[in-house]
Amino acid sequence: MSKVDFPAMRAAMVASQLRTSDVNDPAVIAAMASVPREDFVPAARRETCYIDRPVPLGDGGAMNPPLATGRLLTAAQIEAGDKVLLLGDVTGYTAALLSHMGAEVVRVKAGSAKGDAKNGPYDAILIDGAVDAFPDALSAQLAEGGRVACGVIERGVTRLMSGRKAGGVVGLIALADMDMVRAAGFESEKAGFVF
């Protein structure tokens, strides 16, 4: 039985999945090349944690494909020192990546679409998965000029969306169709402003 070479798998993920698909932020690349994804999945899934599909976690949930995570972080334009509200991160992997990038991470347990207003405002809000709409309650927790990134499901298609808060309103634009897991707890939210 041969030993799995996780560093080589991580390097291959960066080279073949991220760099070839618009994940071009050096901080995102460095974090994803350094943080061991295999440490954030059940033991039975470690050998397949770098595949380009969602990784089942055994409890009905799944971890986003590496590309979805990389594109999400790139779209959010995270800078060292940013205060980031992270929702829907079921494994802690995205929080570890953000910490590696120098962000101050406020992580809200999966299934909570209300955010964490008492610790806001935030420089960026990320939902680690796809939702029916970006919740209005989160808009109020974002600082003016703050950034948003998440997947939004529109007519059965998941799109990576990003945007900024300007004039008290969060506007989102679609960046790409993306294979992302559905974030639990966001199913009944109403759509915010999208253009």
Taking only the tens place, the pLDDT of each residue in 55-70 is: 999 877 899 999 999 9
pTM: 0.90
DSSP state of 39: G
State the fold for domain 6-177: Rossmann fold (3.40.50)
Q: Which residues pair with 104 in a beta bridge?
A: 83
Mean pLDDT across the chain, nearest whole number?
91
Which of 171, 176, 148 lies closest to 160, judged by CA? 176
Lowest mean pLDDT among 112-121, 149-158, 162-171: 112-121
Identify the band that residue 86 occupies on the pLDDT scale cut at 50, 70 and 90: very high
pLDDT, residue 108, reads 81
Identify the band that residue 184 occupies on the pLDDT scale cut at 50, 70 and 90: confident
User: Can you give 52-104 as a three-state secondary structure string?
Assistant: CCCEECCCCCEECCHHHHHHHHHHHCCCCCCEEEEECCCCCHHHHHHHHCCCE
Mean pLDDT throughout 105-127?
A: 88
Cβ atoms < 10 Å from Cβ of 67: 23
The Cα 42–Cα 49 span in angstroms is 9
C-alpha angle 143-148-152 in degrees, rounded to nearest 5: 145
Distances (CA, A) of 100 to 30, 33, 37, 194: 9, 11, 13, 31
pLDDT, residue 1, reads 46
pLDDT, residue 38, reads 97
